[in-house]
A and B are shown apart, each in its own frame.
Chain A
Amino acid sequence: DTGVSQDPRHKITKRGQNVTFRCDPISEHNRLYWYRQTLGQGPEFLTYFQNEAQLEKSRLLSDRFSAERPKGSFSTLEIQRTEQGDSAMYLCASTYPDSGTDTQYFGPGTRLTVL
């Protein structure tokens, strides 16, 4: 069990550029979540997957955001035409609800700064 990993850890981009983040969940965890956390706030849910199926998307997820989990393993979150308001920590979490646990294990996050 190597934990949830995210890449990159930090990303600085200019407004209008596209960015993509990757999340590798804990092995065998079939549910994967994306959250966004701004300074001084709790994480806010963005979207989640069961295997490769995207089950729910938050209204926070504008059409500039897209997430995929093509093979039910790693996931990517892409933000197109970034805006300064997209600056935040993007967190990924995973869990295996079939095991009877509700514990979501979080990765270290990707810190996005949009200039």
Chain B
Amino acid sequence: QQQVKQSPQSLIVQKGGISIINCAYENTAFDYFPWYQQFPGKGPALLIAIRPDVSEKKEGRFTISFNKSAKQFSLHIMDSQPGDSATYFCAALYNQGGKLIFGQGTELSVKP
């Protein structure tokens, strides 16, 4: 299967809190897992990405945790800010340069 399942569908977090979004996949051939951020009316923009040989990757306030045996990965946003309010998509790719398979998206709202 090529499906990527994402949860939750929507998330409300207080300013300064931690936002956690989860994804699960079936195809063990996937070898690249990016997270994209999308604002209304804009195209998706790459936030952070990880490969399955690494269990965690951190860039600023954003961290990906990867569990290869469980076929799950998650995005953690530390010290969430109102400017982080957007829709977040996880994705997976198994053929370098090939198509991305996206999750259904999580609409994050950070309340001041």
Binding site for B on A (CB under 8 A): 4, 31, 33, 35, 40-45, 48, 50, 56, 58, 91, 93, 95, 97, 102-109, 111
Q: Which 10 A-B pairs have the closest CB atoms?
A: A42-B102, A97-B97, A106-B43, A45-B99, A102-B32, A106-B44, A108-B43, A42-B89, A109-B43, A42-B105
Q: For the side of the interface on B, what is the size category?
A: 20 to 34
Closest CB in chain B relative to A112 CB, distance in Å: 14
Give the complex CA separation of A107 and B105 in angstroms.
18
Closest CB in chain A relative to B44 CB, distance in Å: 5
Task: Mark interface residues in B79-94 (1 if CB within 8 Å of A CB, else 0).
Answer: 0000000000101010
- Nearest B residue (CB) for A46: B99
Contacts of B43 in A (CB 8 A): 4, 91, 93, 106-109
Contact B103 A42 (CB under 8 A): yes
Contact A106 B97 (CB under 8 A): no
A102-B49, A103-B34, A103-B49 are known contacts. Are A43 and B44 too (CB-CB below 8 A)?
yes
Binding site for A on B (CB under 8 A): 6, 32, 34, 36, 41-46, 49, 89, 91, 93, 96-105
Contacts of A41 in B (CB 8 A): 104-105
A95-B97, A102-B49 are known contacts. Are A108 and B102 too (CB-CB below 8 A)?
no
Closest CB in chain B relative to A44 CB, distance in Å: 7
Give the complex CA separation of A95 and B99 in angstroms.
11
Contact A50 B105 (CB under 8 A): no
Contact A33 B99 (CB under 8 A): yes
Contacts of A107 in B (CB 8 A): 43
Contact B100 A104 (CB under 8 A): yes
Contacts of A95 in B (CB 8 A): 97
A42-B102, A43-B89, A43-B102 are known contacts. Are A31 and B45 too (CB-CB below 8 A)?
no
Contact A106 B102 (CB under 8 A): no
Contacts of B98 in A (CB 8 A): 48, 56
Contacts of B49 in A (CB 8 A): 102-103
Give the complex CA separation of A41 and B101 in angstroms.
12
| 15 CB-based A-B contacts, threshold 8 Å | A33-B99, A40-B105, A42-B103, A42-B104, A43-B89, A43-B102, A44-B102, A45-B101, A56-B98, A56-B99, A103-B34, A103-B46, A108-B42, A108-B43, A111-B41
